[in-house]
Amino acid sequence: MDSTTTEPAEQSLATVLAEIHADLLNERSGEVANYIPELARVDPDSFGIGVVAVDGRSLAVGDAELPFTIQSASKPFVYGMAVEEHSRDGVLAKIGVQPVEEAFNAIALDEATNRPFNPMINAGAIAATDLLGGDTAEDRLARLLAVFERGCGHPVEVDEQVFASERATGERDRALAHLMRSFGMISDRLEETLELYFRQCSIKVTCRDLAVLGATLANQGVNPITRQRMLSASTVRDVLSVMHACGMYNFSGEWDLRIGIPAKSGVGGGIVGAIPGLGGIATFSPRLDASLR
Ligand code: GLU
């Protein structure tokens, strides 16, 4: 347990977090995602919780400093980048915001509009990545990493082994990209966009980083520790809305009922949540429920 202050309120939150962590430490249900072979190499018993308040105070318990790949927890932020670049309506022309019953990697588009249903599932996330500008692949990656750097408060890097593993096995994502291309919903730099998407999913973060990213959303787009802006306040409003409706895939409705905060899962084991005006919370536990893997 590490606590950065000794105020009574934080001490009690630290105690509550430690109790929750101890209670759940021996929970062994769920399975590690293995459809991306490199992800299966993780220690399934790792478990961390991080909390960061909008005033910058933070708490962490368990494996909060262990690096893992961000995977789909990157999607809300990349959606935000697309909205900043193309406006809400510009992005809505290409990506819907409807929750779906299908799996996150289903080969399906909205038949009425040919759009992916929402930006939290793979089709919509690839379409959002496609909207990121830049003259070259390197330029697009550098811009994307720079935004995550502002959100995390330090430089971020791609796990090249996970990236290579995703690229080698990402046939469903490739199929989705080709389907969207056939309807003119993504650009013809399809291969470049897929590589960028696989790299975005392979960004290394810790549970503490995810909590800071969540707190940045909770703080209207400003990292509460560095005070650097990651996204505009109006973009964050849209990002939180789609996280709320679609962030936990086809478990989003029940998540909302039981947990009630906008959140996004990743198959690497991270979940990022934001409580607007209060702070961010993140967990890292690689064993996943069936709806999240
Ligand atoms: N990189 C993963 C994929 O494309 C992300 C899925 C997830 O994290 O839920 O399948």
Digit-coded pLDDT (tens) for 68-87: 999 999 999 999 999 999 99
Q: What gap in Å lies between CA 189 and CA 20, rounded to an integer?
A: 46
Which two tokens mark 89? 């309506």
Q: Could you tell me the sign of the dihedral formed by the alpha carbons of 66, 72, 73, 74, in that order?
A: positive
User: Does 173 contact ligand 1 (Cβ within 6 A)?
Assistant: yes
- Predicted confidence band of residue 1 (pLDDT cuts 50, 70, 90): very low
pLDDT, position 225? 98
Backbone angles phi, psi at 96, to 5 degrees: -75, -175
Number of domains in the chain: 1
Instruction: Say yes or no to pLDDT of 7 above 90.
Output: no
Instruction: Say yes or no to pLDDT of 162 above 80.
Output: yes
The predicted-structure confidence for 257-286, as pLDDT tens digits, reads as follows 999 999 999 999 999 999 999 999 999 999
Alpha helices (H) along 28-93: 75-92
Question: If you measure from the C-alpha of residue 15 to the centroid of ligand 1, how many angstroms do you get, rounded to a whole number?
Answer: 33
Question: If you measure from the C-alpha of residue 33 to the centroid of ligand 1, how many angstroms do you get, rounded to a whole number?
Answer: 10
The predicted-structure confidence for 81-110, as pLDDT tens digits, reads as follows 999 999 999 999 999 999 999 999 999 999
pLDDT, position 293? 86
Question: If you measure from the C-alpha of residue 70 to the centroid of ligand 1, how many angstroms do you get, rounded to a whole number?
Answer: 9
Q: Torsion angle of alpha carbons 86, 92, 98, 104, nearest 10°? A: -50
- 42, 51, 75, 100: the catalytic one is 75
Best mutation site among 31, 34, 36 for ligand 1 pocket (most ligand atoms within 8 Å of CB):
36
Best mutation site among 70, 74, 104 for ligand 1 pocket (most ligand atoms within 8 Å of CB):
104
Q: How many CA atoms lie within 13 A of 137 on its CB side?
A: 12
Q: What gap in Å lies between CA 256 and CA 211, rounded to an integer?
A: 19
pLDDT, position 6? 54
Q: Average pLDDT of 33-56?
A: 95
pLDDT, position 123? 98
How much of the chain, in percent, has pLDDT values that exceed 90? 94
Provide CB contacts within 8 A for 124, sequence distance 6+.
Answer: 75, 79, 95, 96, 115, 116, 117, 118
User: Does 113 contact ligand 1 (Cβ within 6 A)?
Assistant: no
Task: Name 53's bridge partners.
Answer: 279
The predicted-structure confidence for 123-158, as pLDDT tens digits, reads as follows 999 999 999 999 999 999 999 999 999 999 999 999
Residue 227 domain boundaries: 22-292
Query: Which is the closest atom of ligand 1 to the Cα of 71?
Result: 8
197 in catalytic set: yes
Residue 3 domain-assigned (yes or no): no
User: Does 104 contact ligand 1 (Cβ within 6 A)?
Assistant: yes
CA-closest candidate to residue 293, choices 259, 269, 257, 264:
269
pLDDT, position 11? 73
Residue 116 domain-assigned (yes or no): yes
252 in catalytic set: no
Q: What gap in Å lies between CA 213 and CA 200, rounded to an integer?
A: 15
pLDDT, position 63? 97
Domain of 202, CATH number, reads 3.40.710.10
Map residue 271 onto helix, strand or coil. Answer: strand
Query: What is this structure's pTM?
Result: 0.95
